Structure 1
Amino acid sequence: MREFAQPAVYTVPDGANLTDPVWSAADEAPSQVTFRRPLDGWTDVTALQFRDEVVGVAKGLIATGVKPGERVGLMARTRYEWTLIDYAIWTAGGVTVPIYETSSAEQVQWILGDSGAVTVVVETSAHQSMVEAVRGELPDLGRVWQIDASAVSLLVEAGSSVPDDEVAARRAALGPDDVATIIYTSGTTGRPKGCVLTHRNLLFEVGNALPVLPSMFNAGASTLLFLPLAHAFARLIQLGAVQSRATLGHAPDVKNLMDDLQTFRPTFVLAVPRVFEKVYNGAKQKAHSEGKGAIFDRADRVAVAYSSSDSPGLLLRVQHALFDRLVYSKLRAALGGACTHAISGGAPLGVRLAHFFRGIGLWVSEGYGLTETSPATAANVDDAVKLGTVGRPLPGMTVRIADDGEVLIAGEHVFREYWHNPAATAEALKDGFFHTGDLGSLDDEGFLTITGRKKELIVTAGGKNVAPAVLEDRIRAHPLVSQAMVVGDAKPFIGAVVTIDPDAFGPWRDAHNKASDATVGDLVNDSDLRAEIQNAVDDANKAVSHAEAVKVFRILPRDFTEETGELTPSMKLKRSVVEKEYADEIAAIYS
């Protein structure tokens, strides 16, 4: 058993709640630009304006019957109104229940019903129709508000007669141990569980994370959120931006993301590793298709070498300066030109890719956590970085590695309970620690490395334990690969099923003189395509022993998506769904 802890640098005051930073910013820096909204260009929202809008919406919620402690559903894309309504719910004393805007009717029914939501704010008419279709199963649900049908202005109008004193009283009564939000986990198996986070959990998280990340969270910083705010990871950035008085923008449509980045010009961004992989692979493919592949590949090697060196020599510095003008500056320009930092989580980024981005001038901080830990527990921070790890525990947080390798976590950021699920709560919270289900290790300096999921361990027929994450992450790093799933439980050897990235497939097909109308399904047995994926598998196998190596793989005819059910909204693989849907392909590996 190993353990590492850091002392807290912030203690949650008595009587504090998550709305306090909104009020203090309005009082102390009323003209500070807190948000920028995409309204015919980016329109500034000051701290005072935001506070007043929060009050207006909170009054509407109060007027329409939302009582302290009652749950309010919120189902929308990442947009300004999401953040506004979130803070308004808290100001009214309510509890926000986020719902992914891509959720099915069954998921919406479960989350609203299990949480006992008394009202819900949705974004579109399609969302409203979905809720209305299951209303018969939701006896607690009252009014449905639609953002696209003027929900904000209608709420403000409804609350126009509510006195300011009522809002002040609701806010004053809200303390750190009151429930702030119930976030339903993605549910890779079974029904999603409602993770109960208090104001204390989230205040402790933000108060201890921000002081060790001053390069990102400061009054002159800005970030453009495009990950779903229904996910705890994006929600933390929202809270951190408001707390640090950084400027926050929202990008609701990822199809417009590159244009939004150009005009918003954030100083830091938040993304999952797949985004960074696609940025790198896209730039590489574009360079090769334009006949500049040799230059990009050389620039790639120089960036990695520069980042990897503690004291780069004169030749390396000269080469780096040259490629900064030719290549790196163009990559930074794609993020708006002002971005110097990024936060990555949800899956391992990979050491080489981390070195590449740091080498081009974008410092990517990898971190680790779960919804149950508010969510961040460890991170590579400004003065403590070790690429290939997810960093040290943040101040006030303890990480312990159990004898079986499971990562255990303690601290005031750990959730209170699973809503209406005492059995799951008792299983997860034992002996003062949250049992994550993740496997990991701590080095002598306290840096944490995640090696896989306890429940995902594969045990071959020969008795070899294999953690699939190591192999899958390495295979997925190949430009042509979108997803990979390692199989082999109770089988004689390890295999894998692989999907092809639709964005990368077209250029590859054309460059290799395949039929212009050929689909991935047409080419699953093509020797050239299989050779590419074999290269990815060979690279992944370098990270494991011979007994753990992938011996046989199958290319699947289409990619995994959330819509087709193989991925959760946070892009995690639903292994049981893939195993069932592609049972014949998996069986063929062992035939």
Structure 2
Amino acid sequence: MNQYPLNPVDFYEDFLSFLRGIEKYGDKPAITTYTSEKEAVTRSYRQLTEDVYALAAAMREKGWQGWHVALAGENSYQWVVAFFASAVLNCPVVLVDIEQSVETIAQMLETADSQVAFASASAAELFAQEADMPKLPLVASGGEYGIPFTSLLEEGRCLLKEHDHFFDTLPAEENLAVIAFTSGTTSASKPVMLSRKGVLHNASSSVAMVATGERLFASLPFYHTYGLTCSVLGPLIVGTHLCINGSLKTMMRDLRLFQPDTMMTVPLIVEMVHRRLAAASQERGLEEELNHKARRRFLRREPEASVSEKLENLKNEIFPEMQIIISGGAHLLPEISLELKRFGIQTLQGYGITECSPLISVNRNQMNQPESVGVVVPGVELRFQEGEILVRGENVMLGYYKDEEMTREAMGDGWFHTGDLGYLDKRGFLYITGRKKNLIVLKNGKKVSPEEIESRIARLPLVKEVMAYGATTGQSADDVKIAVTVYPDPKEAGGMTSYEILNTLQKEIESINGHYPSYKQIQLVNLRENEFSKTSSQKIKRREL
């Protein structure tokens, strides 16, 4: 497939080179956060790098160089500084998901051999008060526990004044940069080891593939590699101005205050933006034009929808500068992408996995197929084994920390086995069709991907969330029928009884069944009263059934 040229970008081998590289942006704004009073706090690239060097100097003085540094807390400027300072000192960084239980967090810290922790005020309180938490040296960005982040920063500034060449000699380079934990939907999290070159090259590849704007809104959790690599490292490499958001509660507020031209997020947030715009279009009497034109194009499989001047003017009132949304972490319905295009917002879907640093493929600004997850990024090779996607490249993990058996199982042949099923079309676009472990195996030997079923059911207006699975109906375990459990959309189902909802769904599903061969047809439909439990990347936990 002929691709247009990659965007020019610098590639770095280590984090000290990375920091020295971004110093060229000088007083250009690097990171903005907002206080509870809605006041913007902005640090330039010069201030960012100076803060990183200062913190690294203080950490080195305390003898923490080479230690395993745990980062626990909400997205913040301090989180970013602590990450870079640790990376400069060749300290493997342990990314801690603070949305997990105390027991799980403690297990993560111990599994990764964490030796010191940087934490937000809420996380620091957890470290100090919970008896099950490992007792580590603690640096806190607020609150009453641990060493204050600000005092450590000031200590480092003083050290740098005394020693002009503090970073002329550094400890031997450690290839291990990050220990990140997977957010699996069916099994316990696994500690993934990522290399310095792998993470940095993947970050550069992400911006080589997609040209973002000047102002990017970063709300993805940084303890996920998607948030770290793609929404922090990549944009900083090309001098982007980031707005860091650390809470869903303030996300829409910060979005309005910062007015970004680019947003990097997950489908859940894309759907929120879409619903806000769709509701506004309904209020203006423009809903019919939006739905009919965008959906008609989708049915004809046209890759793009045209921009509506009326809808774009409406978008400019709500999200004035928004032009691009990059979505990953889960499947995004192509209809949403096409409808957002009517408002003048281009949505680019990508595909990644923690073990691959994470980016594997992404749609490009001028090569966008909404039903796919894009084209493969530079330096990454793909092949398929019985439909499973296998990956090889410098972005692939070093292995699972201290678990050689699990590492051999995942990549014993030199290729990482993603567990995802998919295919490449003639143009080189990658399509994900499901998870190998989720396949529903029928008595006749046929295999059905539940994700394929879910994708069709999720388009029904009454459906907010859906999970497809094989329901055992006979005496043997392999005597199964295809079933779906649906959480109805409260707005669409308002005033309807459960019987009416179920009856309507069954009629719509009968119509869908008409497009499937008999072995793929849905035979059982169930309702649930609450949303499904989800991972921190907003994927439904399948083990619930």
Fold-level match, TM-score > 0.5?
yes
Identity rate, percent: 24
1:304–1:352 CA contact under 8 A, matched in 2: yes
Call closer, same or farther: CA 1:246–1:283 in 2, change over 3 Å.
closer
Distance 1:540 1:281 in 2: 25
Residue 178 of structure 2 aligns to a residue whose secondary structure is strand
Contact 2:9 2:237 in 1 (8 A): no
Q: Which residue of 2 aligns with 1:146?
A: 140
Partner of 1:584: none
2:179 to 174, 178, 182: 182
Structure 1 counterpart of 2:167, which letter? Answer: A
List aligned pairs for 1:420-569, cutoff 5 A: 420-488=402-470, 490-501=478-489, 505=490, 507-508=491-492, 512=495, 523=497, 525-527=498-500, 529-534=501-506, 537=509, 541=513, 544-560=516-532, 566-569=533-536
**Aligned partner of 1:199 among 186, 196, 205:** 196
Cα 1:471–1:47 change in 2 (3 A) is: same
For residue 251 of structure 1, report the CA deviation from its aligned partner: 1.3
| 2:474 counterpart residue number | none
Give the direction of change, closer, same or farther, for the CA distance of 1:5–1:492 in structure 2 (3 Å limit).
Answer: farther
Aligned length: 530
Q: Residue 10 of structure 1: CA displacement? A: 9.5
1:438: Cα distance to partner? Answer: 0.6
Alpha-carbon separation, structure 1, partners of 2:515 and 2:350: 22
Runs of 5+ unmatched residues, structure 1: 515-522, 561-565, 580-591
Looking at structure 2, the residues matched to 173 and 4 of structure 1 have their Cα atoms a distance apart, in angstroms, of 44
Report if the CA contact (8 A) 1:196-1:418 is conserved.
Answer: yes
Which of the residues 391, 397, 418 maps onto 1:415? Answer: 397
Q: Is the 8 A contact 1:22 1:242 kept in 2?
A: no
What residue in structure 1 maps to residue 253 of structure 2? 259
Are 1:50 and 2:17 counterparts? no
Q: Do the aligned partners of 1:36 and 1:248 also contact (CA within 8 Å) in 2? A: yes
CA displacement at 1:186 relative to structure 2: 1.3
- Structure 2 residue aligned with 1:24: 21
| Aligned residue identity for 1:168 | F
Which residue of 324, 327, 333 maps to 1:344? 327
1:4·1:399 contact (CA, 8 Å) conserved in 2? no
1:490-522 CA distance string (max 9 Å, x none): 344211111234xxx2x4465x4x6xxxxxxxx
* Contact 2:198 2:394 (8 Å CA) reproduced: yes
Determine whether 1:249 maps to 2:243: yes
2:61 corresponding residue in structure 1: 63
The answer to whether the aligner puts 1:382 opposite 2:365 as a matched pair is yes
Distance 1:185 1:492, change over 3 A: closer
- 3-state DSSP of counterpart to 2:20: helix
SS of 1:130's equivalent? helix
Following superposition, the deviation at residue 424 of structure 1 comes to 0.9
Pair 1:84 & 2:94 matched: no
Amino acid at match of 2:289: R
1:116 matched to 2:113? The reply is yes
The RMSD of aligned alpha carbons is 3.1
Structure 1 residue 301, shift from structure 2 partner: 2.3
1:260 alignment partner, SS class: helix
Deviates more, 1:82-91 or 1:278-287: 278-287
In structure 2, distance between residues paired with 1:331 and 1:461: 51
Query: Once the two structures are superposed, what CA deviation does each residue of 1:225-260 show, in whole Å capped at 9, x if it has no partner?
Result: 112111111112200111111001111122222221
Look up the equivalent residue of 1:298 and give its one-letter code: E
- Counterpart-to-counterpart distance in 2, 1:330 and 1:8: 33
**Residues 306, 359 of structure 1: 8 Å contact kept:** no
Distance verdict in 2 for CA 1:6–1:341, change over 3 Å: closer
**Does the 8 Å contact 1:80/1:249 carry over to 2?**
no
Cα displacement string for residues 147-173 of structure 1 (whole angstroms, at most 9, x for unaligned residues): 223732032244455444574146x55
2:326 is equivalent to residue 328 of structure 1? no
Question: Residues 245, 300 of structure 1: CA spacing in aligned structure 2 closer, same or farther, 3 A cutoff?
Answer: same
2:103 alignment partner, SS class: helix
| Structure 1 pair 118–454 and aligned structure 2 pair: CA distance change class (3 A) | same
Distance 2:4 2:448 in 1: 32
Q: 1:310 to 1:353 in 2, by over 3 A?
A: closer
| Cα shift at 1:388 | 1.1
Deviates more, 1:469-478 or 1:258-267: 469-478
Cα distance in 2 between the residues matched to 1:364 and 1:260: 20
How far off its partner does 1:18 sit? 2.6
Distance of 1:4 and 1:143 partners within structure 2: 53
Deviation at 1:354, TM superposition (A): 2.1
Deviation per CA, 1:318-362, whole angstroms, max 9, x where unpaired? xx54xx22x33323543x311111111122222322222223211
Which has the higher mean CA deviation after the structures are superposed, 392-401 or 382-391?
Answer: 382-391
Conserved? CA contact 1:6–1:397, under 8 Å:
no
- Which whole-Å CA distance do the structure 2 matches of 1:146 and 1:540 have between them? 54
2:475 corresponds to which residue? Answer: none
1:130 aligns with 2:118: no
Q: Secondary structure at the match of 1:493?
A: strand
Shift in CA distance, 66/120, structure 1 to aligned 2, threshold 3 Å: same
Check the 8 A contact 2:98/2:105 in 1, yes or no. no
**Which is helix-richer, 1 or 2?**
1
Q: Deviations over 1:290-343 (max 9, x none)?
A: 5x66x302223234557879899xxx97xx54xx22x33323543x31111111
Deviation at 1:21, TM superposition (A): 3.1
Deviation string 1:100-137 (CA, Å, 9 cap, x unpaired) is: 22121111111110111111122134x23433456667
